[in-house]
């Protein structure tokens, strides 16, 4: 999971940000927004969510998410996903991985009762997601997370919602993971999946406490060192792409509640540190 979700110690991260909330208020002058670090998968025991989320929700006018998860589930998007994340020339992941790594992947799938033959055409990036989500669900982490909970709530209450990315952009990020370094990527993924119980315990605890420094130290630092290209694609580059939009929000009269994966708030490239370096006022929400 470190491979996909997991940035060096927070040398640039002010001690001012070592707080105890996953939700922050960002402001400049009279304009403000709420920024919440989320978990995409949660256990039933993680509900109710930290009160900070509900408090920010009550005070916000517009609700902003990474992408429309519901649109990603539409048949046409599922078809596009299959085109982008499977080999279309008859190849299988066995053709792209070393015999040892390929056999290790197959052994893991067999142990988990997965249909190996059906998964052969998938690219390593998609295999990593399938293995990680499957193992997460086996450990009791269901489909609903903070994002899906509040997206459903906002739509049910006819609130205004917006998204930072399109589904196709997210598929593009996913498809590029491990590209050109598939064998090492899959070996690392298998190691991550084996350590997933401990990883999920760390990230869930740190998320609820708002301990983004711990997330960076225990999760993202490893990705930065081992797979810097993956880190850039799914963390740094996306944060940098979002910042102009978030800064634009801070010129409007409406109050936005922006909810993105907690790792996007963590580390020297995290959104909180970027706002801090730009001189915005940051205040934790309880």
Q: How far apart are CA 197 and CA 154, in angstroms?
A: 32
Model's pTM, two decimal places?
0.91
Q: What integer best gives the mean pLDDT of the chain?
A: 91
Contact 61, 285 (CB under 8 A): no
| Nearest-angstrom CA–CA distance, 157 and 172 | 31
| Mean pLDDT in residue range 270-280 | 98
Tell me which residue of 65, 63, 66 sits closest to 160, measured CA to CA: 63
| pLDDT, tens digit (0-9, with 9 covering 90-100), for 104-123 | 999 999 999 999 999 999 99
pLDDT score recorded for residue 69: 87
State both tokens at 96. 């792209």
User: What confidence tier does 142 reach under pLDDT thresholds 50, 70, 90?
Assistant: confident
% of the chain at pLDDT higher than 90: 87
Backbone angles phi, psi at 93, to 5 degrees: -65, -20
Structure tokens at 211: 């301990």
pLDDT for the residue 273: 98
Neighbours of 104 (CB within 10 A): 16
Rounded Cα gap, residues 172 and 142, in angstroms: 25
Cα dihedral sign for 64, 67, 69, 75? positive
pLDDT, tens digit, for every residue of 36-88? 999 999 999 999 999 999 999 999 999 999 999 889 889 999 999 999 999 99
Residue 14's nearest CA partner among 220, 259, 282 is 282
pLDDT for 72: 86
Q: How far is CA 9 from the centre of its chain?
A: 20
Query: Tell me: the pLDDT tens digits for 232-272?
Result: 999 999 999 999 999 999 999 999 999 999 999 999 999 99
> What CA–CA distance (Å, rounded) separates 274 from 239?
9
């Amino acid at each position: 999971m470190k491979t996909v979700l997991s940035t060096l110690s927070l040398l640039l991260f002010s001690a001012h940000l070592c707080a105890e909330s996953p939700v922050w208020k960002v402001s400049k002058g009279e304009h403000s927004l709420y920024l919440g670090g989320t978990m995409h998968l949660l256990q039933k025991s993680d509900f109710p969510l930290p009160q900070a989320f509900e408090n920010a929700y009550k005070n916000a006018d517009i609700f902003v998410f990474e992408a429309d998860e519901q649109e990603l589930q539409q048949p046409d998007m599922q078809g596009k996903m299959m085109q982008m994340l499977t080999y279309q020339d008859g190849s299988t992941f066995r053709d792209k991985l070393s015999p040892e790594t390929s056999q290790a992947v197959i052994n893991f799938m067999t142990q988990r009762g997965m249909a190996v033959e059906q998964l052969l055409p998938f690219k390593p990036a998609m295999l990593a997601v399938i293995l990680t989500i499957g193992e997460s669900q086996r450990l009791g982490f269901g489909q609903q997370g903070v994002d899906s909970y509040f997206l459903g709530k906002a739509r049910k209450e006819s609130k205004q919602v917006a998204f930072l990315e399109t589904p196709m952009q997210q598929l593009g990020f996913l498809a590029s993971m491990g590209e050109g370094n598939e064998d090492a990527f899959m070996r690392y993924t298998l190691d991550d999946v084996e350590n997933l119980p401990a990883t999920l315990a760390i990230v869930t605890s740190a998320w609820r406490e708002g301990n983004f420094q711990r997330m960076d130290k225990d999760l993202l630092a490893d990705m930065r060192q081992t797979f810097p290209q993956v880190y850039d694609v799914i963390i740094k580059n996306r944060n940098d792409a979002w910042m102009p939009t978030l800064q634009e929000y801070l010129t409007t009269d409406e109050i936005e509640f922006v909810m993105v994966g907690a790792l996007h708030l963590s580390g020297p490239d995290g959104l909180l540190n970027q706002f801090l370096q730009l001189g915005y006022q940051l205040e934790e929400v309880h």
